[in-house]
Chains A and B, each alone.
Chain A
């Protein structure tokens, strides 16, 4: 029996507006406990929400970037439930009229490009945070309360953990590109719930399991794999799973059912009477569309065309807006697009991966990087040396020229100096000359290597090559 996995995602992204959804408090992360609060966001009696127009624009930007339809009319609803971190005991959200609907995003899969449907994107406000201390008391921090969020709900179009990961990465890249969210999962500005079920070839299927609050892409992927296996096992045993809300236990590597009481909630949605319905005009949408930057897909195509780099490389480079900007800036300064892309695809990405960092976290900037490439292009250092210099730059933040100088890595470009070494090496290796005359090309390489060794790698390889050929042909 074959089984098909259906994965749907619900992603919450905090919006990067300066102020909160319904008041003028700062949305900045951190800050002393309960300092980013006012009577409105902590829901004191009599206070009223006033909607942050920028939050709506950000939601529309996200919708446009995900090929969604933008609603002409927009209303907010109340989602009612009791929890200490929810000061009004309702969350202002959107229920039956989300701001964006019916979109899609394309992801790369093993079998090519795949469209993943986006059912809706709606706006809501974030809750505060509870902190439970060891002595059993609970403390509440309302700094996050009222920060604008969008919730992006995909269709169950992903068939594996890998596809879900690809979708999440794509979505993260887009939100980062359009600068509506800083997409930091570790700070909670991007959060993800996963819905999984499995369909057998004979049509039997399991009930959807919802895994809540996954705090990394890795955890999401593992949870999907775990759930897929659990659901298949159930079907193979002729059973079904329960419609269930679960959480991922990262330590044990399993999902655990949450007690039914925790989620059996009737949210009693109804239209928020403190806010009036909003009209979203075509003109406004067009203004917002003009504000949108070049998106990853378009940028990738442009990089391939303009810089002549491989599609794969372009795809990798544009996956991060900062990396793409770094690349473009380096190319504009150093001039060699392919050299730049090769260097990024190997050295730079390796370094980022090793240190689990973003390009913006590196202690050098694109100008330093461009200068390094320039030294390669003008023959000051070899490619191999450049790798060493790069490592030093990444570790210490030193300028490339300084590293080269300190380590004496400057190439010997003075021909007479190189010629001296060449003459000495040829005289010390009569056997190689014999081999060369007998048509063994390997001998040439050997002699070049010997010269490089004698010059401690500093001799300009092209010059070495030319001089050896000259000498040998004159013998």
Chain B
């Protein structure tokens, strides 16, 4: 087995056994990038110099016999909406094309402290708006399983970088499914933590009340280890919650015996591919065989989640993105008369179509005369959706659904039809609206493409999701499958 095929915890063991040095591992990572990056286009920026400094530091500490953490010395990638001190952070937008923050995001800081080797910043949909990574101002990332297809979005670059073996894990951000949907499309495990579990400080905001940073990895254990590192209260983020962080890998192997699983019929309705449906329901049978109880439930308000999402998320983004006006940093239009003209021209030229579309939607929803009909009503439905989840979790340990209605679609297939594109998030969006955690993991393949299932959990109960996902992963044979670009693929099953 090739090194790049290993999981993060497997290379951790090799590092600890001195079978490998971090510098060698980092070299492997860049070799892999040399080999496949031109095919997948995962990255916007590479940070080779910093990565090797970190790798050397790891090796020196190893020589001294220091006991180092699970992620130390391992190459990884950050989505390009997480701030990195002294390193370009573009959000895949022209408007931030030259922006170098003088500070680290809290997750960046935590990873650095943990000794992680940051290989680069990954491509994404501009300002995390999109479901295919086609909305980047720089490049379109391709799905490592089939480079004619999208890797999903908006963390498509982060997903592709792991699925193609360029790095061992990555961080994405998830506002309406942007970690889980690309995880499903690229056969990875992706976790969106409870809102408030991971600090948003330094994450360039799309929709502040929905955004959450989380891991993308080759298996559940990797995600658990990353969660151990990035979770926790941060005084710099008032919405981060002061609650103890358990060791997510600790109870992972305890099985699902006696767990109650709710299967909401609304997530298996129209628009969901029949084979996807079947595979997720097969997964439910597998859980039953392991001693869990599955029951059909109903979450009737969930069908409004997508509408609520597009009101709340666009409203917040219209405000969050207003600061990009060319006055202080980032792109500025060349010819203008007066500051208003500068604002207008800068924003017209600097933002892509999807971002502009959402800013306009949000501005409209918040404007006087429409606020009550849209934004305020959106907040009310949000409360309903939250309550329905809370009610369900009085009975069930987690909820099982498909992650996406279909497998990865073709590049260009939906880019002319925003509504069609928005539908690909229909199963993931309710989770962000409610603020609960959810994990996506592969549960099968359709025509050589991975199919993802989603486990949704109680507030701050990522541990149960990780445990349930781990049990499934061990019981099925899916997790060892690798993308065709890895020299694997389903055909070789």
B244 at the interface (CB under 8 A from A): no
B103 at the interface (CB under 8 A from A): yes
Extra contacts, 18 of them, besides A45-B96, A46-B89 (Cβ < 8 A), are A39-B102, A39-B103, A46-B83, A48-B236, A48-B238, A51-B238, A78-B319, A82-B322, A82-B340, A88-B323, A89-B322, A90-B322, A268-B367, A268-B368, A269-B366, A270-B371, A273-B208, A274-B208
* Proximity string of chain B (331-363) to chain A, C-beta cutoff 8 Å, 1 when within and 0 when not: 000000001100100000000000000000001
* Proximity string of chain B (86-106) to chain A, C-beta cutoff 8 Å, 1 when within and 0 when not: 000101000010010111010
Q: How far is the CB of B194 from chain A (nearest CB, A)?
A: 14
Residues of B at the A interface (CB closer than 8 Å) are: 81-83, 89, 91, 96, 99, 101-103, 105, 200-205, 207-209, 235-239, 315-316, 318-319, 322-325, 327-329, 339-340, 343, 363, 366-368, 371, 375
Bound Cα distance A172, B165 (Å): 67
Q: How far is the CB of B477 from chain A (nearest CB, A)?
A: 41
Q: Which residues of A are found within 8 Å of B343, using beta-carbon distances?
A: 82
- Asked whether A270 lies within 8 Å of B339 as measured between CB atoms, the reply is no
* Proximity string of chain A (76-90) to chain B, C-beta cutoff 8 Å, 1 when within and 0 when not: 001010101001111
Instruction: Identify B99's interface contact among A45, A50, A275, CB under 8 A.
Output: A45
Listed A/B pairs (25) with beta-carbon separation below 8 Å: A39-B102, A44-B329, A45-B83, A45-B89, A45-B204, A46-B82, A46-B105, A47-B103, A47-B201, A48-B236, A50-B235, A50-B237, A51-B238, A80-B322, A84-B339, A87-B327, A89-B325, A90-B322, A140-B327, A266-B367, A269-B366, A270-B319, A273-B209, A273-B239, A274-B208
Q: How far is the CB of A157 from chain B (nearest CB, A)?
A: 28
| Residue from A42, A46, A90, A269 with most neighbouring chain B CB atoms (10 Å) | A46
- Asked whether A46 lies within 8 Å of B101 as measured between CB atoms, the reply is yes
Bound Cα distance A140, B316 (Å): 26
- Asked whether B327 lies within 8 Å of A84 as measured between CB atoms, the reply is yes
Which of A267-298 touch B at CB < 8 Å? Answer: 268-270, 273-276
- Asked whether A87 lies within 8 Å of B323 as measured between CB atoms, the reply is yes
Bound Cα distance A78, B316 (Å): 10
Which of A162-192 touch B at CB < 8 Å? Answer: none
Instruction: Identify A80's interface contact among B83, B319, B339, CB under 8 A.
Output: B319
Q: A50-B238, A138-B339, A270-B315 are in contact. Are A87 and B328 (CB under 8 A)?
A: yes
- Asked whether B319 lies within 8 Å of A275 as measured between CB atoms, the reply is no
Q: How far is the CB of A457 from chain B (nearest CB, A)?
A: 69
> Which residue of chain B lies nearest to A40 when distances are taken between CB atoms in the complex?
B236
Q: How far is the CB of B355 from chain A (nearest CB, A)?
A: 14
Q: Which residues of A are found within 8 Å of B325, using beta-carbon distances?
A: 82, 84, 89
> Which residue of chain A lies nearest to B376 when distances are taken between CB atoms in the complex?
A270
> Which residue of chain B lies nearest to A81 when distances are taken between CB atoms in the complex?
B322
Instruction: Identify A46's interface contact among B201, B316, B371, CB under 8 A.
Output: B201
User: How many of chain A's residues have a CB under 8 angstroms from any CB in B?
Assistant: 29
Q: How far is the CB of B400 from chain A (nearest CB, A)?
A: 30
Q: Is the interface of A mostly helix, strand, loop or mixed?
A: loop
Bound Cα distance A138, B328 (Å): 12
- Asked whether A273 lies within 8 Å of B316 as measured between CB atoms, the reply is yes
Q: Which residues of A are found within 8 Å of B238, using beta-carbon distances?
A: 48-51, 274-276
* Proximity string of chain A (133-146) to chain B, C-beta cutoff 8 Å, 1 when within and 0 when not: 00000101000000
* Proximity string of chain A (119-138) to chain B, C-beta cutoff 8 Å, 1 when within and 0 when not: 00000000000000000001
Which of A10-54 touch B at CB < 8 Å? Answer: 39, 42-51
Q: How far is the CB of A97 from chain B (nearest CB, A)?
A: 14
Q: Which residues of A are found within 8 Å of B200, using beta-carbon distances?
A: 48
Q: Which residues of B are found within 8 Å of A45, using beta-carbon distances?
A: 83, 89, 91, 96, 99, 101, 204-205, 323-324
Q: How far is the CB of B30 from chain A (nearest CB, A)?
A: 27
Q: How far is the CB of A228 from chain B (nearest CB, A)?
A: 31
Q: How far is the CB of A267 from chain B (nearest CB, A)?
A: 8
Instruction: Identify A268's interface contact among B101, B339, B363, CB under 8 A.
Output: B363
Q: Which residues of A are found within 8 Å of B101, using beta-carbon distances?
A: 39, 44-46
Bound Cα distance A222, B333 (Å): 44
Q: How far is the CB of A278 from chain B (nearest CB, A)?
A: 9
> Which residue of chain B lies nearest to A278 when distances are taken between CB atoms in the complex?
B238
> Which residue of chain A lies nearest to B211 when distances are taken between CB atoms in the complex?
A273
Q: Which residues of A are found within 8 Å of B323, using beta-carbon distances?
A: 43, 45, 87-89
Bound Cα distance A275, B318 (Å): 17
Q: How far is the CB of A262 from chain B (nearest CB, A)?
A: 11
Q: Which residues of A are found within 8 Å of B235, using beta-carbon distances?
A: 50
Q: Which residues of A are found within 8 Å of B96, using beta-carbon distances?
A: 45
Q: How far is the CB of A6 from chain B (nearest CB, A)?
A: 25
Bound Cα distance A49, B208 (Å): 12
Q: How far is the CB of A345 from chain B (nearest CB, A)?
A: 52
Bound Cα distance A275, B200 (Å): 12
- Asked whether A48 lies within 8 Å of B339 as measured between CB atoms, the reply is no
Which 8 residue pairs are nearest across A and B when measured between Cβ atoms?
A: A89-B322, A273-B208, A268-B366, A273-B209, A46-B202, A45-B204, A46-B83, A46-B204
> Which residue of chain A lies nearest to B127 when distances are taken between CB atoms in the complex?
A45
Q: Which residues of A are found within 8 Å of B237, using beta-carbon distances?
A: 48, 50, 274
Instruction: Identify B239's interface contact among A39, A266, A270, A274, CB under 8 A.
Output: A274
Q: Which residues of A are found within 8 Å of B366, using beta-carbon distances?
A: 80, 268-270
Bound Cα distance A87, B330 (Å): 13
Q: How far is the CB of B75 from chain A (nearest CB, A)?
A: 23
Q: How far is the CB of B311 from chain A (nearest CB, A)?
A: 11
> Which residue of chain A lies nearest to B363 when distances are taken between CB atoms in the complex?
A268
Q: Which residues of B are found within 8 Å of A47, using beta-carbon distances?
A: 103, 201-202
Q: Which residues of B are found within 8 Å of A48, using beta-carbon distances?
A: 200-201, 236-239
- Asked whether A90 lies within 8 Å of B201 as measured between CB atoms, the reply is no
Q: Which residues of A are found within 8 Å of B315, using beta-carbon distances?
A: 270
| Residue from A266, A268, A275 with most neighbouring chain B CB atoms (10 Å) | A268
Bound Cα distance A274, B367 (Å): 20
Q: Which residues of A are found within 8 Å of B207, using beta-carbon distances?
A: 273
Q: How far is the CB of A435 from chain B (nearest CB, A)?
A: 87
Q: Which residues of B are found within 8 Å of A276, using beta-carbon distances?
A: 238-239
Which of A252-275 touch B at CB < 8 Å? Answer: 266, 268-270, 273-275
Bound Cα distance A47, B318 (Å): 17
> Which residue of chain B lies nearest to A78 when distances are taken between CB atoms in the complex?
B319
Q: How far is the CB of A343 from chain B (nearest CB, A)?
A: 54
Q: Which residues of A are found within 8 Å of B324, using beta-carbon distances?
A: 45
Q: How far is the CB of B156 from chain A (nearest CB, A)?
A: 20
Q: How far is the CB of A272 from chain B (nearest CB, A)?
A: 8
* Proximity string of chain A (42-75) to chain B, C-beta cutoff 8 Å, 1 when within and 0 when not: 1111111111000000000000000000000000
- Asked whether B102 lies within 8 Å of A46 as measured between CB atoms, the reply is no
Q: How far is the CB of B489 from chain A (nearest CB, A)?
A: 38
- Asked whether A90 lies within 8 Å of B319 as measured between CB atoms, the reply is yes
Bound Cα distance A418, B200 (Å): 88
Bound Cα distance A82, B327 (Å): 11
| Residue from A45, A78, A273, A275 with most neighbouring chain B CB atoms (10 Å) | A45
Q: Which residues of B are found within 8 Å of A269, using beta-carbon distances?
A: 366, 371
- Asked whether A46 lies within 8 Å of B203 as measured between CB atoms, the reply is yes
| Residue from B81, B236, B323, B328 with most neighbouring chain A CB atoms (10 Å) | B323
Q: How far is the CB of A45 from chain B (nearest CB, A)?
A: 4
Q: Which residues of A are found within 8 Å of B205, using beta-carbon distances?
A: 45-46, 274
> Which residue of chain A lies nearest to B199 when distances are taken between CB atoms in the complex?
A48
Bound Cα distance A48, B239 (Å): 10
Q: How far is the CB of A467 from chain B (nearest CB, A)?
A: 80
Q: Which residues of A are found within 8 Å of B105, using beta-carbon distances?
A: 46
Bound Cα distance A42, B328 (Å): 9
Q: Which residues of B are found within 8 Å of A42, using beta-carbon distances?
A: 328
> Which residue of chain A lies nearest to B340 when distances are taken between CB atoms in the complex?
A82
Bound Cα distance A50, B201 (Å): 11
> Which residue of chain A lies nearest to B202 when distances are taken between CB atoms in the complex?
A46
> Which residue of chain B lies nearest to A85 when distances are taken between CB atoms in the complex?
B327
Q: How far is the CB of B80 from chain A (nearest CB, A)?
A: 11
- Asked whether B322 lies within 8 Å of A88 as measured between CB atoms, the reply is yes
Bound Cα distance A39, B85 (Å): 12
Q: Which residues of B are found within 8 Å of A80, using beta-carbon distances?
A: 318-319, 322, 366
Q: How far is the CB of A282 from chain B (nearest CB, A)?
A: 23
Bound Cα distance A270, B323 (Å): 16
Bound Cα distance A462, B371 (Å): 82
